Amino acid sequence: MRIIIVGAGPTGLLAANLLGQLKIETIVLERRSGLTLEPRAISIDDEGLRCCQMAGLHKLLMEQMNLNLPALYLSHRHVLACIAPTEQPNGFPSISTFHQPDLEETLSIGLTRFPHVQLHFEHTVCSVVQNDEQVQVIVKTPSQPETLFVADYVLACDGGRSTIRQSLAIPLSTPLFPGFGSGKRSGKSTREKSSHNQRWLVIDGVESEPGEPAIHFFCQPSRPVVAVSAPNGRRRWELMLFPDEFIDQQEKLIKLLKQTCERHQSTQLHVSTLTIQRQAIYTFQSAVAERLQVGRVFLLGDAAHMMPPFGGQGMNSGFRDAANLCWKFGLIQQRSATSHILASYQQERLPHVKQMILFSTLLGRLIMTGNPGIAWLRDRFFLTLQKCPWLYQNVSELKIKPHTGYTHGLVLSTAQKWVGRLVPQPEIITMQGEHRMLDEVLGPGFALLTLYNREEKSLVWLERPFWQRMNVRRICLYALNQRQEVKQLEGENQNCLVNSEHVEWLRKHRDHYWLIRPDRYVLAIFRVEEVAEIEKRLEHLFTHS
């Protein structure tokens, strides 16, 4: 199998690493002469870091990040909300920031692990033609006006202005939400202006005296402003612009930023020490492609969807796309599944993408409103919310963010609420005494997860052809106080110890088996007496259309 990835941004590079791990021949084509030098994306969440963990690069990337930052929402000298999650269900902090050129460099270095992955710069895709057997990609390079590449599949990671999306005539639309979008289709450039788009001036700079490591949302309706702490003394400022307003003098910019900070003297931001390195005007978009797949071509990242940055979910959504899709190619290459499973990519990703777009749009329009009346009502709401600790905790722990949950696609839907959801990742202790994260023990493929049960029956059914073909790894978790009861399983040791409070979700189903997909989503939950029926349904799910 050969796959061509068009675009060497964060999503394309992550997808190339994931495919590289699956030993799939991969060619990455990038029209630019090198990796980006501009810090566009800036934040990553716990799910995004978990995707990086799948690529084996999370430790290197986290060394370059500002981890576990709080987000403060300020208005009229009040702290409306402080989002500072203490829980880490995915094993990583919920809010962290990075410098995009450093992130892309690390992802590209990761590709050097794989001799079957190639990265080509100055390769501009001119056309993509497909049939039932393959995809032909015509590319222009500085030395060759026309070069032909042939692949089994193409992943379009070529950004918001995706030429591949446009060539496939896939329209964009804005998810419907009262007052926040028209639902209007557009097959044109994604930078097309509309009445509900708002221009923002984005400034990136370095502070000689680093300020508070946090994300600040200054929610004054006179001019909403965002300040984002980034690694190595960097800070990003985002200022809402008035219609027809242009600010190109750095002295005026610094003055505006100082005025913002003076309104909230509790913040420790040192604007006077800021050296501006880059500034650009953006019109934040809310748009999603109506299809994520046409035949053998798939849209990922900004080519598939765009959303305002206020929820910090743009790049994270692209990472989820890559993590969702790539392992399915691995199954097809191993002949463990037929190509029809690829249709599940759109079934699973499109609903959640739309939820994230609505979440980010609502957050921006509510928190960063320029309407004094709406701002007053918002302030009253959040100040009242603080008097209800159990409600306010849902905000401070970021539980208001839409979580991924699949009801259609490669899941066996049952009454079990965890099916189709991302399995939590606690720290575990191996029988050799090593402290590791759960995903490291689950391995790169399917895993069967259980909690130790004294009455557990034989697992001879795992030796049947279907389970052997799917190469399922068995993992049994024991509570720390059961250390003396641990018995070695036959074959490779897959027994692990875990703090019982970290597996409450598993304890409620202690007599069940949890079948985990390679992307860490729960495929099925079943009892031993249901094995025959589950096996039949799984066989149909993976090998029949």
Confidence band, pLDDT 50/70/90 cuts, at residue 136: very high
Least confident of 221-235, 302-316, 331-345, 496-510: 496-510
Bridge partners of residue 129, in order along the sequence: 136
- State residue 191's pLDDT score: 36
CB 132 within 8 A of CB 150: no
- State residue 265's pLDDT score: 67
Average pLDDT over residues 232-236: 95
Run of H or E including 448: strand 447-451
Checking if the pLDDT of 479 tops 80, the result is: no
CA-closest candidate to residue 516, choices 54, 46, 28:
54
CB 162 within 8 A of CB 299: yes
Quote the CA–CA distance of 257 and 225 in Å, as a whole number.
8
Q: Where are the alpha helices (DSSP H) in 386-525?
A: 389-396, 438-442, 465-469, 504-507
Whole-number average pLDDT of the chain: 89
- State residue 196's pLDDT score: 47
Quote the CA–CA distance of 139 and 485 in Å, as a whole number.
62
User: In sequence order, which residues have a C-beta less than 8 Å from that of residue 66 and are 6 or more positions away?
Assistant: 96, 97, 98, 213, 229, 230, 231
Confidence band, pLDDT 50/70/90 cuts, at residue 305: very high
User: In sequence order, which residues have a C-beta less than 8 Å from that of residue 38 and are 6 or more positions away?
Assistant: 100, 101, 278
Checking if the pLDDT of 172 tops 90, the result is: yes
- Torsions phi, psi for 399 (to 5 deg): -80, -5
Quote the CA–CA distance of 155 and 143 in Å, as a whole number.
25
CB 200 within 8 A of CB 281: yes
**CA 200 to chain CA centroid, nearest Å:** 24
- State residue 266's pLDDT score: 65
Which segment, 47-51, 253-257, 285-289, 493-497, is predicted with the most confidence on average? 47-51
pLDDT tens digits, 413-462: 777 789 999 999 999 888 778 889 999 999 999 999 988 765 566 678 88
- State residue 453's pLDDT score: 67
pLDDT tens digits, 19-54: 999 999 999 999 999 999 999 999 999 999 999 999
Quote the CA–CA distance of 497 and 513 in Å, as a whole number.
17
Confidence band, pLDDT 50/70/90 cuts, at residue 297: very high
User: In sequence order, which residues have a C-beta less than 8 Å from that of residue 83 and are 6 or more positions away?
Assistant: 70, 71, 72, 73, 95, 395, 396, 397, 398
Quote the CA–CA distance of 260 and 222 in Å, as a whole number.
10
pLDDT tens digits, 372-404: 999 999 999 999 999 999 999 999 998 888 888
Least confident of 120-129, 327-336, 499-508: 499-508
| Domains, in order of start, for the chain | 2-64+99-187+288-362 (3.50.50.60), 66-97+198-283+371-401 (3.30.9.10), 427-543 (3.40.30.10)
- State residue 231's pLDDT score: 97
Amino acid type, 473: R
Q: How many CB atoms lie within 10 A of CB 38?
A: 11
Confidence band, pLDDT 50/70/90 cuts, at residue 483: low
Confidence band, pLDDT 50/70/90 cuts, at residue 194: very low
Confidence band, pLDDT 50/70/90 cuts, at residue 219: very high
Run of H or E including 53: helix 46-54
Q: Where are the alpha helices (DSSP H) in 119-278?
A: 163-167, 250-263
Structure tokens at 479: 């509570």
C-alpha triplet 382, 384, 389: angle, nearest 5°: 90
Distances (CA, A) of 417 to 35, 300, 397, 406: 42, 28, 21, 10
Radius of gyration of the chain, Cα coordinates, nearest whole angstrom: 24
Amino acid type, 61: L
- Torsions phi, psi for 63 (to 5 deg): -65, -20
DSSP string, 357-417: HHHHHHHHHHHT---HHHHHHHHHHHHHHTT-HHHHHHHHTTTTSPPPB-SSSSS---S-T
Amino acid type, 354: K
- State residue 139's pLDDT score: 97
Average pLDDT over residues 70-87: 92
Quote the CA–CA distance of 492 and 490 in Å, as a whole number.
7
Checking if the pLDDT of 536 tops 90, the result is: yes
Looking at per-residue confidence, does 507 or 139 come out higher?
139
Which segment, 220-234, 249-263, 457-471, is predicted with the most confidence on average? 220-234
**CA 41 to chain CA centroid, nearest Å:** 12
Q: How many CB atoms lie within 10 A of CB 132?
A: 6
% of residues, the chain, pLDDT over 90: 67
Looking at per-residue confidence, does 50 or 266 come out higher?
50
% of residues, the chain, pLDDT over 70: 91
If DSSP states are collapsed to H, E and C, what string results for 293-356? Answer: EECCEEECHHHCEECCHHHCCHHHHHHHHHHHHHHHHHHHHCCCCCHHHHHHHHHHHHHHHHHH
Long-range contacts of 525-529 (CB under 8 A, 24+ apart): 525/414, 525/416, 525/418, 525/419, 526/414, 528/457
